[in-house]
Amino acid sequence: MRPLVPVIMVWIASCLIAQAEKPQAEILKTLRHMLDSQGRHSLSPSLLDRDAYQAHLRRHPEEVSGVGFDIQWKLRNRVPVIGTLKVEIRHGDGYTIGEFTKSLNLGPVKKRRSQWRRIAIKGEEYARLGKIIAWRVSLWDGETELAHQESFLW
């Protein structure tokens, strides 16, 4: 029985350390959608209809008026955060890369509840972008980055 005590103690300590090292916030999911002239990414709530409408917008780029990023994020601590949710976009033709950032203020949120926010880029801003090559989404509390998620090509 005694040889098990040190093993159990080490296991408990490693669990506590792993719990303490968890990030304060996490970006769970980022969905990028093309938007039509009315700001819609789908004609109905159905996921099948959304995918079909996105395919339609890809085939008919003249109907696209912008791009929207739906971002699901979650805080792990109880401290309310009033921060910024940013989307950075690398765009251009070929290897010409630029950057675009858009901020959104967040209010106080509750622990363990995920939140969804949309950042839409429309009009002249979208027209200046051209082809989007990669994106990066980050959650900030003042000057401190709490979490980020990026596309494969970032």
Asked if residue 49 has pLDDT above 70, the reply is: yes
Rg of the chain taking only CA atoms, in angstroms: 20
Confidence of residue 115 (pLDDT cuts 50, 70, 90): confident
In this prediction, residue 54 carries a pLDDT of 94
Average pLDDT over residues 19-48: 84
Q: Are residues 73 and 118 in contact, defined by beta-carbon separation less than 8 angstroms?
A: no
Average pLDDT over residues 105-128: 76
Q: What topology does CATH give the domain 23-150?
A: Immunoglobulin-like (2.60.40)
Please count the CA atoms within 13 angstroms of the CA of 104 that sit on its side-chain side. 17
Q: Are residues 154 and 135 in contact, defined by beta-carbon separation less than 8 angstroms?
A: yes
Average pLDDT over residues 72-76: 82
Specify the pTM. 0.74
Q: Are residues 55 and 96 in contact, defined by beta-carbon separation less than 8 angstroms?
A: no
C-alpha span between 73 and 25 (Å, rounded) = 7
In this prediction, residue 64 carries a pLDDT of 92
β-sheet bridge partners, residue 114: 74
Q: What is the separation of C-alpha 99 from the centre of its chain, rounded to a whole number of angstroms?
A: 17
Reduced to 3 states (helix: H, G, I; strand: E, B; else coil), residue 20 is helix
Average pLDDT over residues 101-127: 74
Confidence of residue 2 (pLDDT cuts 50, 70, 90): low
In this prediction, residue 48 carries a pLDDT of 93
C-alpha span between 118 and 40 (Å, rounded) = 12
**Mean pLDDT across the chain:** 79
C-alpha span between 104 and 113 (Å, rounded) = 19
CA distances to 14, 15, 16, 37 from 21, in Å: 11, 10, 9, 45
In this prediction, residue 34 carries a pLDDT of 93
Asked if residue 44 has pLDDT above 80, the reply is: yes
Domain boundaries, the chain: 23-150
